[in-house]
Structure 1
Amino acid sequence: MPNSPNIVLIVMDTARSDFVDTAVNGREVTPFLSGLAERGGKFSEAYSASPWTLPSHASLFTGTYPSKHGAHAESKHLRDDIQTLAGTLSENGYETFGISNNIWVSDNFGFEAGFDTFVRNWQLLQFDNDVGGVGLTNQGRDKWFAVARTLIQGNPVANAVNAAYTKFRYSNYSPDDGAGRTNKRAEGLLSDHDGDDPFFLFINYLEPHLEYRPPKRFAERFLPEGVSYREANEVEQNAWKYVTEQAEISDSEFEILRALYAAETAYLDQRIGELAETIRERDEETVFVVVGDHGENLGDHGLMDHQYCLYDTLLHVPFVVGGGPFTDHGTDDRLVQLPDVAPTLLDVAGVEAPSFRSQSQGQSVLSPEFDRDTVIAEYLSPMPSRDAIEKRVGDPHDVIDSYLRSLRCIRRDGYKLVVGSDGEKELYDVESDPREQTDLSSERPKEVTRLETELDEWLDSFEQPDGVDTGEINDGVKDTLEQLGYIQ
């Protein structure tokens, strides 16, 4: 397809909408993305379909919601029979590249399907035997036996190098969660690309994810007056100790954490700008789409990290576009969701793909028939589980029981309803109460009934798959996930 544009789809893992194209402590956070939005456009009311990485990326790749694609904490593998954006573009003449810095987005969980080349950036040397997390934990005799067993599988030298590299990369001493190396690898991939065919490049950048350890020069831009870089790095960042009421974090400390989070986002903005400059030196017509897969709680609603709720701190994400049909698009305040991205990019590519579009529950924002008036999000399985919490940090106050429920939410006509599997309901007037502080469910029962009925009708409108047997996750992958805060 020689007339189709190159497409770059970037995920800023764990990026909140209110930290992009804005200022924190008087400092602009994302000058590159703000410039891209000015030249191209942004969707100011963009929402994820789920509050964490695996189901959110599955929705992004397939144009479907978690209840349809079936990838969540109890069924961790993206189904082989569901079509992906990368696979569809590959079948229609695109060379497809993927680079991931989050181990959830890898072949361990079915996400490399459709990519001609896929780079696991936690590996220094690319081998199918993924033991990236094996070097992260060095305590306990059993762990060392697991390390030894893993190292002798496949290529022992490559495994040892990857284990050491991953341990360094996720250590507290590394101010870069892979963005710098990602850009080098992207440049290498594209330098080998055959220019006769268009390319699709997907990248997951990890920087805004816990732990927040930005380079010092970025942190010092945003830290409150009088707070040193050393003092900022001493603030508690164990989300699960905080959630289980074993660690206290003051308002002033959360102000510091928000500053570190802003600095991580600012650092990533610079790296994305560098990548864009490199790519546009090759082809000025490349289309860029930058989204967040979900947000982050920074003390909001008494929570940290991105689990256990469906508040907009986790669902409202950045969606910035540039190039091609998005030139001079401006600020678009229509409701959009991540499942809309795949059909939109198929329109950008000029690919009909009727089978994919039939599967998709999203709509192309470029279509004159785009008419989204409802946002839906799902949290089908809580994670971490009680067992995982008790094993890793304990729960002396039995706090976690209140969070062990599935959740769905629906937003329509200025209201948002959250429904839990435990029967609890929350209703918010998100126009007058965007921070979702006042639950109106007892005051406006008619709105609750109306929205719950619409949510039930939506769920009945399509078939939900049976769970996928994912088997055991190997020790190396578990360790890497735990280092990211996803305790298993």
Structure 2
Amino acid sequence: MDDSNVIVLVMDTAKAAALGEVRDHQETAISEIASDGVEYTNATAAAPWSLPSHASLLTGTYPSKHGAHAGYKKLESSVDVPYLPSLFERHGYETVGISNNTWISEEFGFAEGFETFYKTWQYVQSETDLGEIARTEEGIDKFRALARRIVDGNPITNVANAVYGQFLRKQEDDGAKRTNEWVYDWLDDRDDSRPFFLFINYLEPHLEYRPPETFADPFLPSDVAFEEAMDVSQDAWSYIAGNTDLSDRELEALRGLYRGELAYLDHRIGELRQLLEDAGEWEKTILVITGDHGENIGDHGLMDHQYCLYETLLHVPLIVHGGSFTGGIESDRLVQLTDLPPTLLDAARIDADDAREAFQGRSFHPDAETDPRSRAIAEYLAPQPSMEALEKRVDKLPNHVYEYDRSLRSIRSDGYKLVLGSDGSRELYYLPEDSDERYDRVEDQPETVADLETEIDEWLESFKHAESSGSVTMTDSTKNRLEDLGYLQ
């Protein structure tokens, strides 16, 4: 075992192309970190939304194997699916998780292996959360509801969390400031006799977009003021259903707000680096900066990050700094987030042979004797939200929206990308000449379609699939927090 610290930092909903535009526009902390590390410009997620993508990132396996997706919303413990925090814990690391995204919590199976797991949406860490009462009740009903529930668990804790969740947490950001404040205190108090594994999910780029004005202004159209941009509808599901029309100008305003969120998060990442330097940990830390998936803002007629496997959702940033990842190198090697677990075990010099046999990812560590991958696979095993959930939210759901009621898989190889739908649909793109995936070549390249379809069929037959299915129980407070994020249940 090495004594290097390892940090996995996920910028939730960070689209590679948009982050690149922010970095081209101004000096960024991320670019400074990349200038001394290795940046992988051809990195892809294994799934287009948070739950399955984080599960793949932390297990080194694809959704079909780890089983966490919209059809079964929990990562179950399994000897067949290794979990990266548990592996570091078993090898003597202090393991700490910080989440700003409700999906990434113990309720959905992500807290295993973490000695400390901190959820920023709670002022006091607790299993009881009354935040939904503050959100869903009004006037005297709010106080009556609080009175009924106040005796559950610790009354003082419950009131503090309810007030914080409704009135205080969102005044500054989506948790990045509080995350860094917690890290500051933790670094100051921790026992540094052993290295640490730290996982952080920063939520800022996620809908709804509410960046500080000073970070948003440089990215807004010249004729759109910040207040006007903030008034543009961010109702993704109404837009997808065609019930909300957004002009090109309004979409550009939303894209400006989104880039403002990325710029603000970059500021907080720079702050995190300074905390590590001040604590004397920076030089002995291997830092991964990535995104779990991207975002559609009018792209392909969609908003948010569901219902497709286009590169707008799969192409993510990936920078690794520290250890053998040095030199300011920019690599176009094809990598996937599933490759991170074996890579980080190599970086920490941890053998974990059983886990390595179970990984579907392959190490891209500079010292690893592995061939670069020749293909990338992604899965979207069930629509989220389901058509039933969407029907409850959107009046008069148009017929074309039901086309999204399907599962999808994609495979990239030799520049071609094939997207297969459970409804029999096929889309083929040649990314070197069509990075925006506008020109479907299915009719022009039937042999390529057949070859790639055979390749993905053989891949599916090469491993045991998860048997998990059905609904997963979640508390009302969790359900409401997810719906606040746009995840209809």
Which bin holds the TM-score, normalised by the shorter protein?
Answer: over 0.9
Partner of 1:429: 430
- TM-aligned CA distance change 1:126 to 1:92, over 3 Å: same
Cα contact 2:71–2:470 (8 A) shared by 1: no
Aligned residues: 483
- TM-aligned CA distance change 1:385 to 1:151, over 3 Å: farther
Partner of 1:355: 354
Give, in angstroms, the shift of residue 319 of structure 1: 0.3
- TM-aligned CA distance change 1:141 to 1:428, over 3 Å: farther
Which of 62, 66, 73 is the matching residue for 2:63? 66
Alignment RMSD: 1.9
Distance 2:53 2:349 in 1: 25
What whole-Å deviation, never above 9, does each CA across 1:213-269 have from its counterpart, x for those lacking one?
100111112111132111110111100000000000111111111110000000000
Distance 1:57 1:426 in 2: 26
Aligned residue type for 2:160:
V
Distance 2:99 2:131 in 1: 13
Say which SS state the counterpart of residue 39 (structure 1) adopts: coil
Say which SS state the counterpart of residue 103 (structure 1) adopts: coil
Say which SS state the counterpart of residue 20 (structure 1) adopts: helix
What whole-Å deviation, never above 9, does each CA across 1:65-104 have from its counterpart, x for those lacking one?
0000000011111111232100000000100001000000
Say which SS state the counterpart of residue 245 (structure 2) adopts: coil
Aligned residue type for 1:261:
Y
Give, in angstroms, the shift of residue 156 of structure 1: 2.3
Say which SS state the counterpart of residue 342 (structure 1) adopts: helix
What whole-Å deviation, never above 9, does each CA across 1:36-77 have from its counterpart, x for those lacking one?
111112100000000000000000110000000000011111
Say which SS state the counterpart of residue 227 (structure 1) adopts: coil
Partner of 1:326: 325
**Equivalent runs, 1:58-137 vs 2, <5 Å:** 58-81=55-78, 82-137=81-136
Give, in angstroms, the shift of residue 363 of structure 1: 0.9
Aligned residue type for 1:69:
H
Distance 2:7 2:404 in 1: 37
Cα contact 2:74–2:472 (8 A) shared by 1: no
Partner of 1:443: 444
Cα contact 2:52–2:63 (8 A) shared by 1: yes
Aligned residue type for 2:344:
L
Give, in angstroms, the shift of residue 170 of structure 1: 6.6
Partner of 1:414: 415
| Unaligned runs of at least 5 residues, structure 2 | none
Asked if residue 54 in structure 1 is aligned to residue 51 in structure 2, the reply is yes
Which of 28, 31, 34 is the matching residue for 2:31? 34
What whole-Å deviation, never above 9, does each CA across 1:146-180 have from its counterpart, x for those lacking one?
76665432112212211221123575xx3411100
Cα contact 2:13–2:294 (8 A) shared by 1: yes
Give, in angstroms, the shift of residue 193 of structure 1: 1.8
Cα contact 1:214–1:260 (8 A) shared by 2: yes
- TM-aligned CA distance change 1:157 to 1:392, over 3 Å: farther
Partner of 2:200: 203
Name whichever of 195-204 and 143-152 sits farther off: 143-152
Name whichever of 317-326 and 302-311 sits farther off: 317-326
Partner of 2:398: 397
- TM-aligned CA distance change 1:318 to 1:119, over 3 Å: same
Distance 2:147 2:314 in 1: 41
Which of 206, 218, 223 is the matching residue for 1:221? 218
Name whichever of 406-415 and 184-193 sits farther off: 184-193
Distance 1:133 1:297 in 2: 28
Say which SS state the counterpart of residue 134 (structure 2) adopts: coil
Name whichever of 390-399 and 186-195 sits farther off: 390-399
Aligned residue type for 2:18:
F
Partner of 2:299: 300
Distance 1:147 1:376 in 2: 47
What whole-Å deviation, never above 9, does each CA across 1:356-377 have from its counterpart, x for those lacking one?
1111100111113132010000
Which of 270, 274, 293 is the matching residue for 1:273? 270
Distance 1:109 1:479 in 2: 15
Distance 2:298 2:146 in 1: 36
- TM-aligned CA distance change 1:212 to 1:148, over 3 Å: same
Cα contact 1:132–1:477 (8 A) shared by 2: no
- TM-aligned CA distance change 1:229 to 1:14, over 3 Å: same
Say which SS state the counterpart of residue 88 (structure 2) adopts: helix
Name whichever of 152-161 and 63-72 sits farther off: 152-161
What TM-score do the two structures reach when normalised by structure 1? 0.95
Say which SS state the counterpart of residue 247 (structure 1) adopts: coil
What whole-Å deviation, never above 9, does each CA across 1:286-323 have from its counterpart, x for those lacking one?
11100100000010000000000000000000001111
Distance 2:73 2:385 in 1: 13
Partner of 2:176: 179
Distance 1:289 1:396 in 2: 41
Give, in angstroms, the shift of residue 19 of structure 1: 1.9
Name whichever of 389-398 and 413-422 sits farther off: 389-398
Distance 1:96 1:463 in 2: 29
**Equivalent runs, 1:285-296 vs 2, <5 Å:** 285-296=284-295
Cα contact 1:122–1:169 (8 A) shared by 2: no
- TM-aligned CA distance change 1:313 to 1:170, over 3 Å: farther
Name whichever of 389-398 and 90-99 sits farther off: 389-398
Cα contact 2:288–2:320 (8 A) shared by 1: yes
Aligned residue type for 2:379:
E
Which of 223, 229, 232 is the matching residue for 1:232? 229
Say which SS state the counterpart of residue 277 (structure 1) adopts: helix
Name whichever of 348-357 and 281-290 sits farther off: 281-290
- TM-aligned CA distance change 1:479 to 1:312, over 3 Å: same
Give, in angstroms, the shift of residue 278 of structure 1: 0.7
Distance 1:170 1:314 in 2: 28
- TM-aligned CA distance change 1:249 to 1:231, over 3 Å: same
Name whichever of 472-481 and 50-59 sits farther off: 472-481
Aligned residue type for 2:93:
Y
| Unaligned runs of at least 5 residues, structure 1 | none
Cα contact 2:22–2:262 (8 A) shared by 1: no
